[in-house]
Homo-oligomer: A and B are copies of this chain.
Amino acid sequence: MDFEHSPRAKEYIEKVRAFMETHVEEGEKEYFRQLAESSAKGERWCVPPVIEELKARAREAGLWNMFMPNPDFGPGLSNADYAPIAELTGRSHIGPEVFNCAAPDTGNMEVLEKYGSPEQQEKWLKPLLAGEIRSAFLMTEPDVASSDATNIETEISPDGDHYIINGRKWWSSGAGDPRCSIYIVMGKTDKSAERHLQQSQILVPADTPGVSVKRHLPVFGYDDAPHGHMEVELKDVRVPKENIILGEGRGFEIAQGRLGPGRIHHCMRTIGAAERALELMVKRLGTREAFGKRIIQHSIWEQRIAEARVDIEMTRLLCLKAAWMMDTVGNKVARGEIAMIKVAAPRMALKVIDDAIQAFGGAGVSDDFPLANMYAMQRTLRLADGPDEVHCRSIARLEMKKYMNH
């Protein structure tokens, strides 16, 4: 039992912290300034130039692809070592992208690294790792309860040496970004197969004929431009057979492999967001007065701050443990812990951020502080990658297995 970070983790923590303070904090303000400027010119969906400058600087500093355990493509940190780093990046809206550690690219890169053919890796993994392009993952559909993944309706039909894809996806995050060049699409290649063998994952370049990004979906009132959460129509979209990943009917298997790291990366960043919210709350309450004393001295706030601190600490530890288990016993054995942190992290963060909003009064719901935006983004994480209810179901079933013979 040792709660100390490894020397390697500590080294990266210090470097990332310094980089965040020196470059990202200011860069974030510039980012929103540039975004507002281009918005004012009617160009909402374009990339603020500062982000590419920051990326170049981070890459140069060796703070690049830190999410990727494979040492061929980055520092090769373990999940446990990456956790505190991802947390730091999660304090800033642009943090993850600066270090090429942003969703959904990280998940897509992992899929390609793990399951992609050499040709697929050359063509798509390489530029993703270089931060030259971005990507999206097209799974959820508007017309069915996607919480039950077997409901998915998109069809991937063989047609000679091609597949023809038809379907409608939404919450395709990142598909609003002009740099987004490649989609991984989940759909059914064989509706008559056993339930978990019906689906496949296939690579679809964003510019393939038949692909149309129909609209963006706001999250609360945020469009999250230029990233965006898009609704995408796939109409008779034709891609070569070699675009299939791993083979027909392997979609579920890949999804399982993909979702472990993807989910826990979200959770790491979520903890960073909560930590930042707590810091903002304490500072605010410590500098304003009401009814004759600093607000932080009112015991209702002592209670809320204490609960926030307790809940953040506990969630962080669970996240670290899940990451450590992924490193030591693998994602499959760690699936209970991954499901647990998936449920726990946004639940915790939403409570902390909501209290912080209350502490800020009107300023809390505005965009003068990042709290309302954080809240909106965290709220989606009780739905994305499987709603709480589905993860709770899995956790309960593991529990049942311990004690029952069925």
Q: Which residues of A contact B (CB under 8 A)?
A: 1-6, 9, 42, 80-81, 140, 142, 144-148, 151, 170-171, 217-223, 229, 278-279, 282-283, 286, 288-291, 295-296, 298-303, 305-307, 309-310, 313-315, 317-318, 320-321, 324-325, 336-337, 339-340, 343-344, 357-358, 361-368, 372-373, 375-376, 379-380, 382-384, 387-389, 391-397, 399-400, 402-404
Residues of chain B within 8 A (CB-CB) of A361 are 140, 145-147, 383, 387
What are some 30 contacts across the A-B interface (CB < 8 A)? A1-B5, A3-B320, A147-B290, A148-B289, A148-B290, A151-B289, A171-B362, A218-B372, A219-B221, A221-B221, A221-B222, A282-B404, A286-B403, A286-B404, A296-B400, A299-B299, A299-B300, A299-B389, A302-B393, A302-B395, A302-B397, A303-B389, A305-B392, A306-B391, A307-B343, A317-B318, A358-B383, A358-B387, A358-B388, A361-B383
Q: Which of A291, A315, A388 gathers the greatest number of chain B CB atoms within 10 Å?
A: A291
A289 touches B344 (CB 8 A): no
Whether the Cβ atoms of B220 and A375 lie closer than 8 Å is yes
Question: Cβ of B321 and Cβ of A3 under 8 Å apart?
Answer: yes
Given the complex, which residues of B lie within 8 Å of A151, measured CB to CB?
289-290
A309 to B338, CA, bound (A): 13
**A219-B366, A220-B221, A366-B218 known; A318 vs B310 contact (CB < 8 Å):** yes
Which of A288, A302, A305, A317 has the most CB atoms of chain B within a 10 A radius of its CB? A302
- In angstroms, Cα B80 to Cα A147, docked, is 40
* A376 contacts B365, C-beta separation under 8 Å: yes
**B357 pairs with A392, CB closer than 8 A:** no
Among candidates B217, B321, B324, residue contacting A362 with C-beta atoms closer than 8 Å: B217
A266 to chain B, nearest CB (A): 15
In the complex, what residue of chain B is closest to A170 when comparing beta carbons? B362
Kindly report which residue of chain B lies nearest to residue A317, judged by CB atoms: B317
Question: A147 contacts which chain B residues (CB < 8 A)?
Answer: 290, 361
Kindly state the separation between the CA atoms of A400 and B397 in the bound complex, as whole angstroms.
28
CB atoms of A80 and B383 under 8 A apart: no
Name the B residues within 8 Å of A171 (CB-CB). 362
Once the chains bind, are B299 and A298 in contact (CB under 8 Å)? yes
Do A1 and B310 have beta carbons less than 8 Å apart? no
In the assembled complex, how far is the CB of residue A145 from the closest CB belonging to chain B, in whole angstroms? 4
The secondary structure that dominates the A interface is helix
In the assembled complex, the Cα of A117 lies from the Cα of B146 at a distance in Å of: 58
**Contact of A383 with B399 in the complex, beta carbons under 8 Å:** no
Interchain CA distance A313-B395 in the complex, whole Å: 12
Using A299-B300, A318-B317, A362-B170 as known contacts, say yes or no to A9 and B1 having CB atoms under 8 A apart. Answer: yes
Establish whether residues B221 and A306, one from each chain, have CB atoms under 8 Å apart when the complex forms: no
Contact flag A305-B396 (CB < 8 Å), given A1-B80, A217-B366? yes
- Chain B residues with CB below 8 A from A380, complex form: 362, 365
A363 to chain B, nearest CB (A): 7
CB neighbours (8 Å) of A298 from chain B are 299, 389
A2 to chain B, nearest CB (A): 4
- Chain B residues with CB under 8 Å of A336's CB are 309
Say whether A295 contacts B379, CB under 8 Å.
Answer: no
Other than the given A151-B290, A299-B300, A365-B379, 10 more pairs (CB < 8 A) read: A2-B324, A140-B361, A144-B288, A217-B367, A219-B221, A229-B362, A282-B402, A302-B395, A306-B340, A314-B317
CB distance B403 to A383 under 8 Å?
no
- Assess the A302–B396 pair: CB atoms within 8 A: yes
Inside 8 A of A282's CB, which chain B residues have their CB? 399-400, 402-404
